[in-house]
Amino acid sequence: DTTIPYGGEPAKGLPALPDWLAERAALAGCAPGARDRDEGDGVTVRTWHGCDGRGALVHYRIASLAHDWPSTTPNPDSETPAVMDATPVIERFMRTHPLGG
């Protein structure tokens, strides 16, 4: 990703994404120690649980995707389909982890 490099870009003040996520997890009160799950097709899911009793922080890394919206069909971000569709994943997460609930 040339927009926001996954490994960070210190000269531009951009931290490595795994470090930034770990900071967010700590700020959200998540239990230390994320768990990684290999979904296949270059997709890795990293999850922090607990999060002050509000659920989880979940990150999907798609190795083959640049700075585009993950969709299995072409979209305005990219004509090239991704290996997964983020929209139903996010909708399911929001239903499972409602704000204030």
Instruction: Note down the domain range covering 80.
Output: 10-96
> Is residue 29 domain-resident?
yes
> Is residue 43 domain-resident?
yes
* Number of residues assigned to the chain: 101
> Is residue 47 domain-resident?
yes
Over its length of 101 residues, how does the chain's per-residue pLDDT go in tens digits? Answer: 778 889 999 999 999 999 999 999 999 999 999 999 999 999 999 999 988 877 899 999 999 888 889 999 988 888 889 999 999 999 999 998 877 65
Q: What pLDDT is stored for residue 82 in this prediction?
A: 92
Question: Residue written as tokens 């239990």?
Answer: 31
> Is residue 3 domain-resident?
no
Distance (Å, whole) CA 31 – CA 57: 10
Tally of domains in the chain: 1
> Is residue 82 domain-resident?
yes
> Is residue 5 domain-resident?
no
Q: To 10 degrees, the CA torsion angle through 5, 20, 86, 90?
A: -160
